[in-house]
Amino acid sequence: MSLMGTPFFVTTIVLVVVALALPLFLWSRIGGPKIVRYVARLLMLVFAQATAITMVFVVVNNANGLYDNWDDLLGTGDHVASAANLGKDGTGGHRMKDLPRVVQKFTDVSDERMGEGVRKTQLKGSVSGVSGEVYVWTPPQYDDPKYKKKKFPVVEVLPGFPGSAKAWFGTLKVNEQLKPMMEKGEIQPFIIVAPRTTLLGSKVDTGCANTPGTINADTWLSFDVRKMVVDNFRVSDKPEAWGVAGYSAGAHCAAKLTIAHPDRFRAGVSLSGYNDPAGVRAALTAKTPALRNENNPLKMLKRAKTPPPVALFFSGSERDGYASGLDIQKAAKLPTTVQVKELPADAGGHNTAVWKEQVPEVFQWLTKQLTP
């Protein structure tokens, strides 16, 4: 039974009703020795508490897209076949144009919460050694005969940690919000790509980084997923056509990937993110001072021999992304450009409802930054 499916949610509701009904009908009717009666009543109370907590968890999980399936929750999923040392640029010396074309089979997503037009594929990253699902949504213009020769800009969207690749569709409703804006010509017709980012289970955040011997998450997101999209859709492989956006831990990733790979991404969006990887205790990149230093977007920007030709957008309240954005803005030198927006303290906190409201503004900004 699917963790995020309606049947499991309904099952938890039924169990809560049963758990509440049991004490009402059986509390005074339990026979036997006193110890037996006490134990039976205690078990009924524990059952009621457990079912209530489970139902609340399912509601929160479905609303925020935290865990996609049981493997994510229990940490039993296996998404890493190998983790070779791929060098500083994460390519292992490979060039996209020299690798065989990646031909993928896509199926329509059956989850109604994700809206219409979302397709899914299972990708095996030939360079990163990572495998996982990737969701792709194409704009209404993509299948219009008038656009059959047109290439489209692409935005990779990343959730927080823990987080499901479905979240930008199922929770932030990115496709439902953007489709009418695209039809009216208010924003560019973007292709939206949502790859899996929970790759080492629910207890370890990869930090979207390459850690030889453990995970090549950076290469998965910036190379393998990117090549798959280029090989299967009408998109350009030029960085001017590519952006990456994320919230929370995904925001940290978006800023880091954009600064690290100006040859792959031209724009990055960070919603309520952070610079120091220690912002998430479970981050693999927070385990040592060296890893924290290497994967801090602010320090990466300062270390760059030449300022990367990228645009960055940061938003958040003062202690939830805004200050980190200001630090990046102060360190940036042209051609790097940085826009920082402060959200009021009472905007809603660190949650998907806040980020959902920002989706239209984010893609209006991306429209000005990317060219197909």
pLDDT-derived band at 4 (thresholds 50, 70, 90) equals: low
Q: Where are the alpha helices (DSSP H) in the chain?
A: 6-26, 34-64, 70-74, 167-170, 174-183, 217-219, 225-232, 249-260, 289-294, 297-303, 322-331, 352-369
Residue of 100, 102, 164 lying closest to 132 (CA atoms): 164
Q: Average pLDDT of 94-98?
A: 91
Would you list the DSSP string of 267-326? EEEEES--SSGGGSTTBGGGSSHHHHHHT-HHHHHHH-SS--S-EEEEEEBTTBBHHHHH
pLDDT at 69 over 80: no
State how beta strands 118-124 and 154-158 pair.
Answer: unpaired
pLDDT of the residue at 70 = 73
Architecture of the domain defined by 76-369: 3-Layer(aba) Sandwich (3.40)
Of residues 31 and 318, the one with the higher pLDDT is: 318
Q: How far apart are CA 334 and CA 223, in angstroms?
A: 26
Average pLDDT over residues 44-59: 86
pLDDT for residue 14: 87
Average the pLDDT over 147-161 and give the result. Answer: 96
The pLDDT of residue 200: 92
Give the pLDDT of residue 13: 87
- Is-contact 267 370, C-beta < 8 A? yes
Domain spans in the chain, listed from the N-terminal domain onward: 6-56, 76-369
Tokens for 304, please give them. 């760059």
CA 154 to chain centre: 15
* Confidence grade of residue 1 (pLDDT, cut at 50, 70, 90): low
Q: Torsions phi, psi of 340, nearest 5?
A: -125, 130
339-351 pLDDT, tens digit each: 999 999 888 889 9
Cβ pair 348, 363 in contact under 8 A: no
Q: What pLDDT is recorded for position 63? A: 67
Residue 163, judged by CB atoms within 10 A of its CB (0-12, 13-18, 19+), counts as: buried
Q: Over the stretch 311-321, which tens digit does the pLDDT of each residue have? A: 999 999 998 99
Compute the half-sphere exposure of residue 246: CA atoms within 13 Å on the CB side of its CA.
31
**Per-residue pLDDT tens for 204-240?**
999 999 998 999 999 999 999 999 999 999 999 999 9
Q: What is the pLDDT of residues 246-276, one digit of tens each?
A: 999 999 999 999 999 999 999 999 999 999 9
Residue 367 has pLDDT above 90, yes or no: yes
Report whether pLDDT(150) > 70.
Answer: yes
DSSP state of 261: -
pLDDT at site 3: 66
pLDDT band at 132 (very low <50, low <70, confident <90, very high): very high
